[in-house]
Structure 1
Amino acid sequence: MKVLIIEDEKELQRTIQESLQKEMYVIEVANTYKDALHKISSFDYDCILLDIMLPDGNGIDLLKEIKEIERSDSVIIVSAKDSIDDKVSGLELGADDYLTKPFHLSELHARIKSVLRRKNQNGNNSIKINNLELFPDEFTVLVNGKEMEMNNKEFALLQYLVINKNRLLTKAAIAENIWGDYMDEVDSYDFVYSQVKNLRKKLKQYQADLEIKSIYGMGYKLTTEGE
């Protein structure tokens, strides 16, 4: 899962980033309104943590722009301003939640998981497709009730494919969603092919009724067998 932290307080930004990375989220950060708008316009995120007070603009105005360009990213407003007007404005504009500083990191984790469950899992704790069941909060995958052994990147790849079942996902989209800002350091998407190849082997090994199809020259699509 990919999260964008929009926060100009460097120490808080670092603390949140390190905490969420321990939870296996892919993290990107923005310190300003301008940088945040560029990232949101260019990339997809599962969740955006949005501070209201930014050095070059207001987070509420940024939220308006997010909605105007019809992005579906979940947004949690994180602000030191405990203002009813800001809360109402943010929620009316389409924010999924509002968290007032200071807060415990455990509460932030719970809020993120909650909005992601609502967005991707219809409020459930797991996602089921045929004989496979994926538990995002526990980083666990069961096939016919048996746990499937996999590393963090394989789990992230499978989760991204499952959430986007039957949708064509380009290699660029897969790489950017799972590796985030580190994509700036690579010259090709060959590593995506390697990860998909390894995941296919494991799905076959555990007899999952799913198939990762290659769409020549474009990317991959997760389907149930026979589709």
Structure 2
Amino acid sequence: MAGRPMTDALQQAQGKRLAMHLRRLRAQRGWSRAQLAERAGISPRTLERIEAETTSNPGLFTVAALADAFGVPVDDLVREARGVAGAGIVSAGYEGRSIEQFVKQLLARNVGTVADVRLTPLSRKPGFSKTKLTDALAEAGIGYRHLRALGNPKDNRPPFWEGRAAEGRAVFRSLLEQDPAPQALDELFALAAKETVAVLCFEQDEDRCHRKVICDMARADHGLPVAALG
């Protein structure tokens, strides 16, 4: 996949976060858009485009002028645009998504690393096999880890396909007590305590996937926030 689409996706995500932060700062001060534009010495049209997210790369001098108008360091606006990585897990199924859509949604969630919990990281869906996926994520500045020990064995997949997900989850939960799964869980939860980690498998609906067990453990046993990709 060419680098340009992922670069564009990253810029769009950053532009969206910057626009939201500017609107929030302006509302806190009770300024109109025209008042902010005048204080910053930029045209109202330029500010409108930034706040409306129709431009994702406003330029250093424009950002500096806005920072000066608000009386905040330029670094603060840059940090907001880039997104401060929080801690927690995003439950991410790629079913029904293209690789481009998937990466854009990861960027919007400020995901720092994708933890692939497929037993075998191969897919008929373009872009989601290990090598292609790693490359696409790297272009967007997102890390990748394959945690094979957290994959669901083939003989425990039918329950999830046949409407017996609770049965499948019970079996998988017991498998997580066996080596090397505990070490892989420790690695995952330690990483998710420092940044946002997407737990990746195929099924879009977490309830139909073994990753629900992992996400439930993150919530209940480690107090980590867990959100759906969207």
TM-score, scaled to structure 1:
0.29
Greater percentage in helix? 2
Task: Say which structure is richer in strand.
Answer: 1
